[in-house]
Amino acid sequence: PAFLGISLHSLLDGIALGAGLMLPQLGPVVLLAVLIHKMPDSISISSILLSAGWARPKVARLSVLFSLTTPVGALLAFLFFRALSEENVAIAIGISAGTFLAIATADILPQVHRIEQRNPLTLLFLGLGLLVSWTGTLVVH
């Protein structure tokens, strides 16, 4: 289930990336966002599978398969969105960004506020992620 879930997530990242690259003013920011969080995704799924006792060669093959899901999603987005206006593509990207933000805040913010497990590094990394996102918008504008 974890591999399928993260692969679907990665496919959706690719769709967001493909749509984002169709708009020159958003493409670099979306690309940066996807690139930054692909490595932790890959490490996470590999760690989960290895901890569950899966053999390294099988995990390696699945990692290759996982790494292809984002480009496949980008290609699907290109094929689908190329017939749409820039306005419709921008709406789709807005929905995608809102979904990612909702998931991220639902997962991260409760960790920041847990009293029994208060870890300043969690808040630091949240701030760092926000700073990287903000910096990405400065590069485009």
Give residue limits of the domains in the chain. Answer: 2-140
Give just the sign of the alpha carbon dihedral 77, 83, 86, 87. negative
Mean predicted lDDT score pLDDT of the chain: 82
* Amino acid residing at 39: M
Q: Assess whether pLDDT exceeds 60 at residue 115.
A: no
Q: Would you state the pLDDT for residue 28?
A: 83
Q: Would you state the pLDDT for residue 111?
A: 63
What's the token pair of residue 103?
A: 């998931």
- pLDDT tens digits, 22-59: 888 878 888 888 888 888 888 888 998 999 999 999 99
Read off the DSSP letter of residue 85.
-
Percent of the chain topping pLDDT 70:
87
Q: Would you state the pLDDT for residue 73?
A: 92
